[in-house]
Amino acid sequence: MKKDFQILLFYCYAEILDTERFKTDHHLFCIKNNIKGRIIISSEGINGTVSGLKKDCDNYRKELISKKIFSDIDFKVESHHKYAFKKINVRIKNEIVNSGIIDKKTLKNKGQYINPSDFKKIIKKVPENVTILDVRSNYEHNIGKFKNAMTLDIDNFRDFPGKINELKKKIKKSNKVITYCTGGVKCEKASGFLKENGFENVYQLHGGIIKYGIEEGGENFEGKCYVFDDRIVKDVNEVNSEVIGKCYVTDEKTDRMVNCANVLCNKHFPLSNSGAKKYKGCCSKYCLENGNVREFNGTGFYQKKLNGYNPYIGLEKK
């Protein structure tokens, strides 16, 4: 299959003084250069996943890197056979990743980077005094994680700070703690927060799971990696992959993530073929029998109707 498109995953913590103006200019640049995706902008920086033809993605990267505040931005670049999004969405939020950790000192105190090649050596046989900590949410690590990694029972990254007492009980403060997430943005704050709470040797996997997969083949990553685009999950491990996800309905092994076919529920969960047949894409008998049930198309990904979508809405055409 010809792969003329690219998917770019990126973030950069940098002070943006006029977020409204930056958002407008950036949104227009994306439209004019045929870029589609989701981009979050705040006074603390930018975080996004976008896709487009290779030449358009090249222009996008050059545009961001040309700005002094984003000159050291690290793009994770993957080839793809089509757009990974249906439209462009650029939004302003309080944080570029929702954490509730807003003290700027936390970012300045972030953990040192461990590059993918060094992490590969560690993950093969994790020493007793090293903890590999997954800071992602349940729906993410339930479908894929690093072998022997510690996971947290959280539904959203903003729940991470509330787990600090639990972590203090489970991890010796003298241990070497290596945090990881999908692309690195969560670990910038998570690692700093751990250091502020007494953990002495905190590090972060540079570029997260995606960069590790691109550069080192994803060895010892179990399952698939949850991603925030139309693919939903992607293969990372080219060496020793295995399925670890369990169907929410039947408990069978599966690596497919879906949304419940019931519009009112929309729960995100792993679903096998037999589980899909049992409740027609719903997570339970209750959801099948109550509410507005969408037709299950095999993917469990229900794209919102564009309904005359206009990328210029809210912007002045130029």
CB 39 within 8 A of CB 99: no
Residue 298, SS3?
coil
Q: How many residues does the chain have?
A: 318
- Please tell me the distance from the alpha carbon of residue 159 to that of residue 238, in angstroms, as a whole number: 32
Which member of 30, 181, 260, 287 is catalytic?
Answer: 181
Q: CA 17 from chain center: how many Å? A: 26
CB 114 within 8 A of CB 205: yes
Question: Tokens at residue 260, please?
Answer: 């419940």
262 backbone dihedrals φ, ψ, rounded to 5°? -80, 120
- Please tell me the distance from the alpha carbon of residue 85 to that of residue 65, in angstroms, as a whole number: 23
Please confirm, yes or no, whether 282 is among the known catalytic residues.
Answer: no
First to last CA, the chain: 37
Count CA within 13 A, CB hemisphere, residue 156: 5
- Please tell me the distance from the alpha carbon of residue 210 to that of residue 114, in angstroms, as a whole number: 14
Question: Tokens at residue 240, please?
Answer: 């020793």
As to burial, measured by CB atoms within 10 angstroms (0-12 exposed, 13-18 middle, 19+ buried), residue 137 is buried
Catalytic residue set: 181
